[in-house]
Structure 1
């Protein structure tokens, strides 16, 4: 049995980014032995790009913010000419009191916005300037002095901002419940600004002043501007597929990890169920990029304390519904990123991406494609509906917001029900991560790298994989060399 340097379990964007970084940063890449094992028959994890009948759509993540790490990775794997970006000037909308209201993106737009009342704007201004009551109370003490997203933003910016701007954003990013999400975990940068300056505006200014100078830009990486969203000409799947192609036979598909053991030599034995029967692999280091609930089961025999913390993460059910309508069915020309819907508006759908407005050439002429998300932490019942029932719910909501009266049923491109969609950064998040870190000290060489740690966006996943590659590389370098084969 050959001894691997690193076994990576999971070929989503986290695992593939890690493998790419390990291979690239290795002193002698040809001698570094890496294996990426994926239980599915394809790479990409939640990235699900589909094409059919002249349509191209996504059933998981729909785009990415062009972070430096993600852009560099795309260029490294040969996708520079495949990058596309949506017009950053496209407006975002919130559906409030039966009207689509543009989200104010600048101070002048905030002043003119009809989304907030005059008292609501005044309350937000005073809060941003630092006129904020301290976080206190019996309820907060019971929460370990940790504020929820709802508590934090109501305290700083008022009820209107919380309900009409923050809550729909939370639905769009986490499909979460603002009364359960931890403000410090889900909005870490904003919470730190408030702590730094006493108010959000002062904190933002101080953060900008104290921000370390940027490294010189890589001239080979295309420049982007704030607010842009990116993808690839053939959809997001282009990135994981390009990384996998670069890794070649180091990636194994349909390999399902059934057991993980630690040896007396401080290596790990992984047992896989594969199309060719049971396979055993030994590795100096193992990185699990699997969801928390999968990782919990794998680590139960090795570290029950880590398993206990992992089991506390919740993943609500979310359905991605992709529908196509003739342009004549839409009330007005759709120009924008899409719309989000606060709870309490009589609309069950969380939000809709105006896919055909966002990226050109993904929809046949004369059609609009709308990608809607429904369910989440505040609507667990969505998992009990079948596909036809979910389509009816979404079509009814779209009829109230975007469509003309009495339009016929749409062309249904996809109904993908993610039974366990997005990990929730709920109260106690940092305590859980600390418990995991403490438990992993007894398992040197074993690492966790998934979106329940450090952000759920694609850019977060790429950054996390790149950062961990350095840690794994240092461990391998410092560890006394064993014989490479048994």
Structure 2
């Protein structure tokens, strides 16, 4: 973007990636498998995902890009029912699963909740939590049985604390139109039905993607790719998601240097408008601009500004325990899917947030660029029709899988907001017992001959609680006033979301702004 700028990345560890960590692990029935210790997939259609996949293609690694088709078994998702039977209930994707969902205790209240919402007459006042918003519109059942599970999976968070304005601004916008979300949605569908039948609008790139296209000459046709990925709600990389930061680190331009094992002791603004970084060995370096991607607790320990420290101290984080489980030579999962989440109504002393069925995802994944016809269309300068791209996606779905050997691999996620206030985190033997109990009582398959790795990510995910948007605005304002605009924030804390694509888009937009492009 600016080849005459000298850019230095200070990395505290001995490798790039941060929370993205894909660990090759020896297992009994194969030379190795990958245990994901953090994020593992990208959202199929998003601005950030498109940019990331284009970068991977530019680096000559497009054959490593995999996708899970929307019709694949791994796209099925489940919730843990609060009933005594502790059933896994599929989130509906057809009439049969809808009927089962609505007759189970987890979904029984939904028809009445939807009917109630249609007659909502009052809009909310002030900033609400996600739970307050949905309780007001739909009643407590929907929030406790469904909505809470979604935020256990995304933020490891309590829907009773998260700000609806921060995590679901589109819902607030819908409410502003007509108080009732359902009433406005039906009205809009009826009003627009005739218009949409007359002429379908042409596919267009967002302003951000147009800017990326103008600046970087993408290898992939972003219009075709965005339409193609509508059939693939999940994308991943062969060898694990850590392939992504490794690719970037191995293909940096000459004006970018990564300094590993960096130990910064202080960050100070200078009268010149620059920023001074002092290291543990006493050396100091000056820079025109500093972008911090570390969490605010770590950043707070490096600066002197009391107002900034006060703001940073109010940002909460959740800690998550992860348990990777591998069972060789057989699939012992009772259902096929991406995994299951635990809603508020089903939580217990185990503090389980959810379980990811990694082996199902890996068995369902297909190489997106293995077919010549697909490679041709996705790199062509000509815009293809949606029908053609949909057919190509079907062809990929029916192509040969990379992985056919039987095995079971899952990841347990525990804690999150349920760890708030605890004095000590669970030990490995305690997590092991939870894993074994879950397989016995929920998955109904006693464990034997299995491999287990347990880890803890402290202060992993920022919590966008009520008041977060004000804190975010204050942090940026203070960075501008106290650091003369020479400090900006990347990473998850002050982005538009906690996903990898969200962080990428936040950095892209700020880089464009900084370079005055």
Give the TM-score of the pair, scaled to structure 2. Answer: 0.76
* Aligned residue number for residue 417 of structure 1: 456
TM-fit CA distance, 1:226? 5.6
Aligned ranges 1:13-24 → 2 under 5 Å? none
Q: What corresponds to 2:179 in structure 1?
A: 198
Q: Aligned to 1:373, which of 396, 401, 413?
A: 413
- Does the 8 Å CA contact 2:123/2:179 hold for their aligned counterparts? no
8 Å contact from structure 1 (residues 383, 417) kept in 2: no
- Residue 93 of structure 1 contacts residue 100 of structure 1 at CA under 8 Å; is this kept in 2? yes
How has the CA–CA distance of structure 1 residues 118 and 390 changed in structure 2, closer, same or farther, with 3 Å as cutoff?
closer
Partner of 1:247: 252
SS in structure 2 opposite 1:176?
A: coil
Q: Alpha carbons of 1:108 and 1:470: their partners in 2 closer, same or farther (altered >3 Å)?
A: farther
Gaps of 5+ in 1: 1-24, 137-144, 478-486
User: Structure 1 residue 93 and structure 2 residue 78: aligned?
Assistant: yes
Counterpart in the other structure of 2:319:
317
The aligned residue for residue 239 of structure 2 is 234
Q: How much does 1:363 deviate?
A: 7.9
| Secondary structure at 2:476 match in 1 | helix
8 Å CA contact 2:439, 2:445 repeated in 1 = no
Whether the 8 Å CA contact 2:106–2:145 is kept in 1: the answer is no
Q: Which moved more, 1:419-428 or 1:386-395?
A: 386-395
2:486 matched residue in structure 1: 445
Shift of the 373–283 alpha-carbon distance from structure 1 to 2, 3 Å rule, reads: same
2:17 match: secondary structure: coil
Residue of structure 2 equivalent to 1:337: 338
Is the counterpart of residue 466 in structure 1 residue 508 in structure 2? yes
Shift in Å, 1:169: 1.0
Q: 5 Å matches for 1:345-360?
A: 345=346, 346=348, 348-360=351-363
Q: Is the 8 A contact 1:305 1:436 kept in 2?
A: no
Q: Cα offset for 1:39?
A: 0.7
Contact in 2 for aligned 1:47/1:237 (Cα 8 Å):
yes
In structure 2, what is the equivalent of residue 291 of structure 1? Answer: 295
Cross-structure match for 1:307: 309
Tell me what 2:376 maps to.
Answer: none
- Using the TM superposition, give the Cα deviation of residue 320 of structure 1 relative to its aligned residue in structure 2, in angstroms: 0.8
d(CA) in 2 for partners of 1:44, 1:394: 28
Cα pair 1:289 1:449 within 8 Å, conserved = yes
Return the match for 1:102 from 90, 95, 116.
Answer: 90
Cα distance between partner residues in 2 of 1:37 and 1:239: 18
Given that 2:129 and 2:466 are in contact with CA atoms closer than 8 Å, whether structure 1 keeps it comes out as: yes
Counterpart in 2 of 1:390? 431
Asked if 1:171 is matched to 2:178, the reply is no
Provide the C-alpha distance between the structure 2 equivalents of 1:163 and 1:72, rounded to a whole number of angstroms.
36
What is residue 198 of structure 2 aligned with on the other side?
A: none
> For 2:96 and 2:171, how far apart are their aligned partners in 1?
21
Q: 1:363-403 CA deviation, whole Å, 9 max, x = no partner?
A: 89332001010111123449432112212122212321114
Task: State whether structure 2 residue 440 is matched by structure 1 residue 399.
Answer: yes
Residue 124 of structure 1 corresponds to 113
Q: Does 1:260 align with 2:239?
A: no
CA distance in 2, matches of 1:131, 1:232: 45
Q: Secondary structure at the match of 1:384?
A: coil
- CA distance in structure 2 between the aligned counterparts of 1:202 and 1:184, rounded to whole angstroms: 21
Alignment correspondent of 2:48: 69
Could you state the TM-score of these two structures normalised by the residue count of structure 1? Answer: 0.81
Structure 1 residue 263, shift from structure 2 partner: 2.1
Report the Cα distance in structure 2 between the residues aligned to 1:253 and 1:118, rounded to whole angstroms: 50
Q: Is the deviation greater in 368-377 or in 439-448? A: 439-448
Q: Any conservation in 2 of the 1:55–1:362 contact (CA below 8 Å)?
A: no
Q: Deviations over 1:181-240 (max 9, x none)?
A: 11111222222222234232355579998x997328975343301661111011101111
Q: How many residues align?
A: 432
Displacement of 1:281 in angstroms is: 2.0
Q: Which residue is equivalent to 2:385?
A: none
Q: CA deviation at 1:65?
A: 0.3
Which of residues 206, 209, 214 is equivalent to 2:204?
214
Equivalent of 2:20 in 22, 33, 47: 47
Distance 1:70 1:34 in 2: 24
Change in Cα spacing, 1:244 to 1:122, as seen in structure 2 (3 Å) is: same
- For 1:420-465, what per-residue CA distance to the aligned partner results, in whole angstroms no more than 9, with x for missing partners? 1111111111121122122123122211122122210111011101
CA distance in 2, matches of 1:116, 1:132: 28
Deviation at residue 415 of structure 1 after TM alignment: 1.1
Q: By how many angstroms is 1:316 displaced? A: 2.1
Q: Supply the distance in 1 between the matched residues of 2:95 and 2:290 (Cα, whole angstroms).
A: 48
Answer yes or no: is the 8 Å Cα contact 1:74–1:239 preserved in 2.
no
